[in-house]
Amino acid sequence: MVEEAEAAGQAAEVKAVKDDADATLSLALPALALAVKKVNEIDVNSFYELRGMAKPSPSCVACFKLCCMLMI
């Protein structure tokens, strides 16, 4: 009897964690899909253009770092 009650408590806790994770995931997946779409739209020549810059702006560098991480 004690084991059943303990198992039921653990099941409720696991369900709460799962529901929270599912809610967070449902928010993240559309953003991920949009990011992947935008990365796929990047022209290869943009990388060469960045390479040709003597000192790219910090925002430009950050953007390309993020793109490189998403390509991995």
pLDDT tens digits along 8-22: 889 999 999 999 999
pTM above 0.75, yes or no: no
Whose tokens are 């992947």? That residue is 36
- List, in order, residues 6 or more apart from 17 with CB less than 8 Å away: none
Residues of the chain with pLDDT under 50: none
Report how many helices (DSSP H) and strands (DSSP E) the chain contains, helices first: 3, 0
